[in-house]
Chain A
Amino acid sequence: QKEVEQDPGPLSVPEGAIVSLNCTYSNSAFQYFMWYRQYSRKGPELLMYTYSSGNKEDGRFTAQVDKSSKYISLFIRDSQPSDSATYLCAMGSGSNYKLTFGKGTLLTVNP
């Protein structure tokens, strides 16, 4: 079983839709979770960081963590064409310097 599983998509939605992106993980030691957005031919850009189970909101973005189910989600409300990108989940633990990344979900928001 892979440490982190992320549906690669591609996911195509109309402008204004609510988007749900998900990752599951198997390592119960993971303590903190991040979502990165990567535009084509650019570096990953940090979107959200969360430490505890529950929801964290930032504008149109909501990150959700369920440690009991080993499941994290990123919701995008009122999606825009500018949200079209690959979204990567990442997670880490304790004093470990290494992050474990999902392989990314390619999202296209159509005008």
Chain B
Amino acid sequence: NAGVTQTPKFQVLKTGQSMTLQCAQDMNHNSMYWYRQDPGMGLRLIYYSASEGTTDKGEVPNGYNVSRLNKREFSLRLESAAPSQTSVYFCASSIKREGENTQYFGPGTRLTVL
């Protein structure tokens, strides 16, 4: 049982390049999330998927797209990377119930945009 896995662990891009961050969970969770974490800013929600087939914007969605490929997988795409997108990206998953949303996080992807 690996929990939440993310690939790649590290990535360096040039401005304008595109890339997709991959996330998978094996906990049979319905909901999945993408966050970015920057010094002094804390964790900020980019996009989330309440269930397979649905996606919604979070706090900072500009410059990103997502795909909920199936129940297990949720990818984050940067179409034209910018230096402001240099960050650590975390994927998370949860079984969302009324009164509970315990999220489990992956190990993160460190992205640098030059």
Give Cα A41 to B37, complex, Å.
Answer: 11
- Chain B residues within 8 Å of A98, by CB: 45, 48, 58-59
What is the total number of residues of chain A having a CB less than 8 Å from a CB of chain B?
25
B16 to chain A, nearest CB (A): 27
Report chain B residues within 8 Å CB of A103: 40-42
- How many pairs of residues, A versus B, come closer than 8 Å at their CB atoms? 57
Nearest CB on A from B68, distance (A) = 13
Given A44-B43, A97-B31, A101-B42, verify A31-B96 contact (CB < 8 Å): no
Known: A44-B90, A97-B96. A102 touches B42 (CB 8 A): yes
B residues near A (Cβ < 8 Å) are 4, 31, 33, 40-43, 45, 48, 50, 56, 58-59, 90, 96, 98-108, 110
Interface string of A79-103 (1 = CB under 8 A from B): 0000000001010101111110111
Q: How many angstroms between the C-alpha atoms of A62 and B104 in the bound complex?
A: 20
Task: Specify which chain B residues have a CB less than 8 angstroms from the CB of A17 in the assembled complex.
Answer: none
By the criterion CB–CB under 8 Å, are B102 and A43 in contact?
no
Residues of A within 8 A of B4 (CB): 43
Contact B90 A43 (CB under 8 A): yes
The docked-state distance in angstroms from the alpha carbon of A27 to that of B31 is 24
Closest 5 CB pairs of A and B: A43-B105, A103-B42, A101-B43, A44-B105, A92-B101
Complex: chain A residue closest to B58, CB-CB: A98
Residues of A within 8 A of B33 (CB): 97
With A and B bound together, what is the CA distance between A96 and B56 in angstroms?
A: 12
Among residues 40 to 70 in chain A, which have CB atoms less than 8 Å away from a CB atom of chain B? 41-46, 49, 51
